[in-house]
Chain A
Amino acid sequence: MNATPAIVMPSTDEEIWRYSRIAELDMSAYTHGHMRTETVGADSVRVTESLAGVAMVTNPDIFAELNGAHADTISLRIPKGVAIEDAIHIVHHLDASNVVAYPRLVIDAEENSEVTVIETFISDDSIHSLVVPVLEVRAAKSARVNYLTINQLGLNTWQIGHQQSAGYRDSTTRLSTVALGGDYARMRTEVRLVEQGASAQQVALYFAGGTQMHDFRTLQIHEAPRTHSDLLFKGAVRDTARSVYTGLIHIKPNAAHSQAFQTNRNLTLSEGAWAESVPNLEIETNEVKCSHASTVGSVDQEQKFYLESRGIPPEIAERLIVFGFFNEVIDRLPKQADVETLRTAVNHKLNPENEVAK
């Protein structure tokens, strides 16, 4: 294992790293390591050559660049016209401390194909390491790609990830996220709609407790006419946890008659918890329909009173409300996802006795 070569770290002076914990990161603490990966259901579509680059033309930051240089890549090519009904499951375990791992998943869905992929990242709380995952999705003409990532990293594992998708004519790309883990877990998602009629839907459920921090950056980039994007991110923070959501809808000059929606809602469940939401719009053409909405607030007191007036104790009322808040996202996850296990994990995190400590 070679030590990671000296690299120039970004700083929080850059807008894109504002609010991040990048200043705490010491790359020299990590040597290059690997995740232990189990894959189920991919045999018929996994290819040996690397398809890296099908959706990512340039590296958006140093971490994507490092991933490009060191990646353990899984490449999936869904042949033209093939629809795979069962989900492909990819589970990555990080078993060692003081390593940085670079998993990369490339999904190349050819014309009129369909696939669902569920990718899970797991480590124990005792693991002090860094994961730098990259996802690339290319949805060719009329292809349908349904992807869910589940962050179940331990409380001392960092994540700095990047997701990039490119949607071609009349394709549908659905990118879903459930993030419960990580110490500092950042994900930057760039969805490009590059041909007419392409559509992308994104949903995320994130819930941080203890001293965790979740950091999401999303870009919905419309490059062709009549493209459609819809994003719903819902997060909660408790204890002294923090979360940041920064989203940009960018409608380029060529993207007339496009529709783009972005909604980010955050619940702060403790006095010391903090959530920030920064939605942005950049529209370079007329005749588009765009909206963005963002909220940060505590549990609605009217809702709580309603449930309490039926005889439900306050802590259970609050738990029901938070569950209800997340249900809107859970209902939109791929139908193959193990929703009950995710609900149990959320419930565990809601229990005040499970306050996480380092």
Chain B
Amino acid sequence: MSTLEIKGLRAEVAGKEILKGIDLTVKSGEVHAIMGPNGAGKSTLSAVIMGKPGYTVLGGSVTLDGVDMLAIPTWERAIAGLHLVMQYPTEVPGVHADQMLAEALTARQRGTDGMADRIASEAGRINFDAGLVSRALNVDLSGGEKKRNETMQLGVLEPKFAILDELDSGLDIDALRDCARRVEAATHESNLGVLAITHYVRLFEELKPDIVHIMVAGRIVSSGGPELADQLEIDGYAAFA
């Protein structure tokens, strides 16, 4: 059992404070949804947790089983067990997904024996064309293929916690179902903890949140069970502003 704990997290981008004190605790196997309008700071939260350049932490802490994530570089956070599924996965020309996964597994001191089979199996589970893993990362991929590629990597790398930054944006309904279902399965199979950032409840048709947090203007203004998302569908964010 692992715990990802975020306490009083404040951060700025280009001199503007975006996160104004976030408190969240996610345990293994739990799915926490973070919902909020554009500009609430949801993507900033995922970037700061992962250590993306350009964000300055002003205060607070992020710990994984007590280890200070903010004190270590991005790649070590990933090795510690955090995995970011990006809203817009970056194109990396000439670097293939299988080359990248081989380096990622090597850095984790997990061998690459059987990696190809593992990739093929993960790809098969989400209807991802396994031939795409020996093509340049995210180059000339459709929105659905990009998110399937991200989800395939999540399956192979088996992190402790996944941060899904709008997994549901830019992809068709079939791809969303495949990806969301795979993440939901990981919460049972490998006890994956999930922080799912989204605008829309349609993600929850396959990925069932245990707790829903409403984020507005850099703060979590309300937290509750799945019924909170339903209420949001009726009332909109304005009710929480």
Contacts and interface: CB of A to CB of B under 8 A. Distances in A.
The answer to whether A and B assemble together is: yes
Contacts of A320: 92, 95, 99-100, 103
A303 B95 CA distance: 10
B95 A305 contact: no
B73 A308 contact: yes
Interface residues of A, number: 23
B157 A311 contact: yes
B43 interface: no
Nearest to A328: B94
Interface in B70-122: 73-75, 78-79, 83-84, 86, 89-95, 99-101, 103-104, 107-108
> Would you call the interface of chain B mostly helix, strand, loop, or mixed?
mixed
Contacts of B73: 308, 314
> Would you call the interface of chain A mostly helix, strand, loop, or mixed?
helix
Contact of A311 (B52, B75, B93, B99): B75
Given A303-B92, A325-B94, A309 B84 contact: yes
A321 interface: yes
A324 B78 contact: no
A302 interface: yes
A307 B94 contact: no
Contacts of B108: 311
Contact of A323 (B50, B75, B94, B137): B94
Contact of B50 (A303, A309, A314, A321): A309
Contact of A310 (B53, B78, B136): B78
Interface of A: 301-303, 305-314, 316-317, 320-321, 323-328
Given A307-B92, A311-B75, A328-B94, 6 more contacts: A302-B90, A308-B73, A308-B78, A312-B104, A313-B75, A327-B136
26 contacts: A303-B92, A305-B52, A305-B90, A308-B73, A309-B50, A309-B52, A309-B74, A309-B84, A310-B75, A310-B101, A310-B157, A311-B75, A311-B107, A311-B157, A312-B104, A316-B103, A320-B99, A320-B100, A321-B92, A321-B95, A323-B94, A323-B95, A324-B95, A325-B94, A326-B94, A327-B94
